[in-house]
């Protein structure tokens, strides 16, 4: 049994390639070595320039903006409450026939805060005004 493919396979298996000549080897070595050395130089230069740009960016970021001052730390120095001022008005008669007297009460709350570092003061003044009705009993 003769198979033409079998004979072809045997012929191809018997073939051995010739080793490349010295000119081919020299050219391959020169082509492979040149970009590698250039690539190393390019990588070194780009890494150096990138580091230099990062230094300039960091210097610009830290030196261009002024530092924020520390927040004030206020301490309570004084708290006052004024005496209540009372105002009485004439009694009035309600719809159900009872009498009430309107009374207004006024007083002030004042707190004083200071920051000893910056010598700043904060005064919180809160006036209060309240109106109420007092029942009057009649016999």
Do residues 110 and 79 make contact, with C-beta atoms less than 8 angstroms apart?
yes
pLDDT of residue 107: 93
pLDDT of residue 37: 58
More confident residue, 29 or 37: 29
Residue whose structure tokens are 């924020």 = 68
pLDDT of residue 26: 87
129, HSE (Cβ side, Cα atoms, 13 Å) = 2
pTM tops 0.75: no
Task: Please enumerate in sequence order all residues whose Cβ is within 8 A of that of 134, keeping only pairs 6 or more positions apart, or say none.
Answer: 100, 101, 103
Q: What is the DSSP letter of 96?
A: T
């Amino acid at each position: 049994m003769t198979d033409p493919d079998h004979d072809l396979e045997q012929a191809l298996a018997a073939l051995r390639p010739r080793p490349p000549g010295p000119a081919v080897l020299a050219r391959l070595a020169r082509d492979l070595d040149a970009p590698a050395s250039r690539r190393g130089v390019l990588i070194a230069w780009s890494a150096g320039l990138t580091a230099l740009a990062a230094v300039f960016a960091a210097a610009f970021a830290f030196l261009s903006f002024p530092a924020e001052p520390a927040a004030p730390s206020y301490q309570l120095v004084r708290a006052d409450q004024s005496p209540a001022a009372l105002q009485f008005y004439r009694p009035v008669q309600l719809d159900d026939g009872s009498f009430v007297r309107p009374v207004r009460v006024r007083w002030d709350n004042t707190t004083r805060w200071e920051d000893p570092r910056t010598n700043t003061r904060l005064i919180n003044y809160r006036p209060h005004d309240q109106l109420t009705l007092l029942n009057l009993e009649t016999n």
